[in-house]
Structure 1
Amino acid sequence: MGKKKVVVAYSGGLDTSYTVMYLAMEKDYEVYAVSANTGGFSGEQLKNNEENAYKLGATKYVTLDVTQEYYEKSLKYMIFGNVLRNNCYPISVSSERIFQAIAIARYAKEIGADAIAHGSTGAGNDQIRFDMTFLVMAPGIEIITLTRDKALTRKEEVDYLNAHGFNADFAKLKYSYNVGIWGTSICGGELLDSEKGLPEEAYLKHVTRHEEAELKIKFEKGEIVAVNDEPFTDKIKAIQKIEEMGAAYAIGRDCNVGDTIIGIKGRVGFEAAAPKLIIEAHRLLEKYTLSKWQQYWKDQVGNWYGMFLHESQYLEPVMPDIEAMLTSSQRNVNGTAILKLRPFGFETVGVDSPDDLLKSKLGEYGEMQHGWTAEEAKGFIKVTSTPLRVYYGIHPDEKR
């Protein structure tokens, strides 16, 4: 019998580094260290991950690039739905975890792994996202979570690595960061005190441009096709271009307070220039191109879509149904949204769209009607008031 195989969801951080070494040395596993990249790793980081994985005792290191899959299977629907949790947080790294977990589960099945391991603690949401996805996508494969099960402290993990010759710098930082294509989340520091906000030095991106600039984002059926008249077929590159422009103004900073999956309140800071700019540009274009009830129902299902993503319910069968509705709603979301950027903020300017419902021949709001007469308007108003006139005719004492 050969060694058992374990796939470790390897980020290169302390918890997963400990997991790789411990399972290789203490449990004699054949360890496959896998970094699933959804757009948050740089080339240099992935190279370091590979080098360190082998130093830690991994049999094999693999990078799985699932950035395009993440866009096609979820990110574009978050744009279609203008998804902002609590009208604030663009569900940045948390939504990426699902696709990292799916890719890792898929790989574990391909190589016939006996187990999958991740480094999540027992106090956060990621343990649920990884475990639930593995249970559904890779049934029968054991899930190993050393940090959670052994209640390991940071010091215990560092001491173990150092004692076995791995001396990478895992100094305890004031803040922890998770960087992704859809934003960077920031935890720790002042965020642990409800009365305080993050100071300037907590953010990774700072103002480098002060003069105002125009940003034009062109959409076809709800998807980005051009940025400032530069065409993009690769949607990820379009997002990165917008992020580059917005980050120069430190746009997209905020803090979100919300309910975690495990039931406690959580507070996270973030900087997400591209999501904020794209969602508001998309929302602006929809105001011109969608009907009142299209916008209303999109708000409802978009909110549910974001909540299910955050709550680790991406695999719930209703999600493709919601995606189908969101996709259908985008058939006339065509045109260019125009924004004006400035340090720490932006404003919406207007749109240029062939499907602009504001350009109606029936009338201009507040100016002149062309599709009805004055008498017809008075008749419409009188009929519309009928239910209220009936009610207050019987209950005149309730008039305010």
Structure 2
Amino acid sequence: MQIYKVGGAVRDRLLGKPVTDIDWVVVGATAEEMLAKGFRPVGADFPVFLHPKSGEEYALARTERKSGRGYGGFTFHASPEVTLEEDLIRRDLTINAMAEDDQQNLTDPYHGQRDLEDRFLRHVSPAFAEDPLRVLRVARFAARYAELGFKVAPETLELMRQLSESGELEALTAERSWKEISRALMESQPQVFIQVLRDCGALKVLMPEVDALFGVPQPEVHHPEIDSGIHTLSVLEQAALHKQPLTVRWACLLHDLGKGLTPEEEWPRHIAHEHKGLKLIKAVNERFKAPKDCQELALLVGQYHTHGHRALELKASTLLELLQSFDVYRRPQRFEEFIVACEMDARGRKGLEQRSYPQADYLRGAASAARGVAVQPLLEKGLKGPELGEALKRERLKALKAYKESASS
């Protein structure tokens, strides 16, 4: 029995990056031998075991063969005869197909170390094209390592293109797709993930609503970058630069989908794109079964982001409606995430990345003024039910009018 550290742990050590998860491969062993040593079995599909003390995963060396569509369409074969090289060749990228023994002696049959040095994300073998999930994984790695100068190798991008055109991407489950998408959006350069998907034709399959934004112009006076797709990538980039959470990044990706529906004769203006985009945002949310908080914020940002930009001009009554839509009294954090999403939208424009956004503090102040209205005096007047609700609304409107006056003076 020989045990090797494999995959990401080896890759990241060689890159000088922190190693978080460690995967191990066991060569020359049987499941019975692993159980005899106290390892606990997990997973029904292939022999993976948890170490009795560390809890880390140890997998028996295995080969795999395509047996059906999609991510799960594989038959695995594990036996003591499977070599380390045979196990490594089934992996996705050369940089993930290296192994180390306990003396840090490197096994690198597919030149992963060379690709690390040359900054290439390159597939290990033609079998790469058998697993559609690898399109998303490679795009995610591109987003993670873009800051180090990594690019997808041209021949790998071509295989990803073939996969995108094959119909295999449609076999991916919503859960698997969302897991990759959500992880990719939280990388340091999530806009690279979207760009790579577009480069290989996967974006128009997975998110045709986002793909449709590219080539759609906007008024240059507000959008020096002009192209709606480029703007979306820039907004996502700003969200990552400002360390925003997944909810905000998802909303940033989907906020302008309505612009893809504008008839060409109306370009570059996009009247009512906020409202038109809601059905598209809802469709993308449902396609990937995004978490509820991501779904809700994306819809609210889509509908109200131009309200955010025009905050200083809004009437007190419109401000109140905006605050009510977000339920700022019970869910203040959601309104805060809306504000920062609007700010990322304002900064995601060519040459305006450092612009100030006074609307943010203005909206925070408005929310504070509305929340500051006390309910107790109204209860003491004997008001309840709809009457209480209307009285509360009147008092909050009064507070917002006073706030607007003080803010403009």
Structure 2 length-normalised TM: 0.24
Question: Normalized per residue, which structure has more strand?
Answer: 1
Question: Normalized per residue, which structure has more helix?
Answer: 2
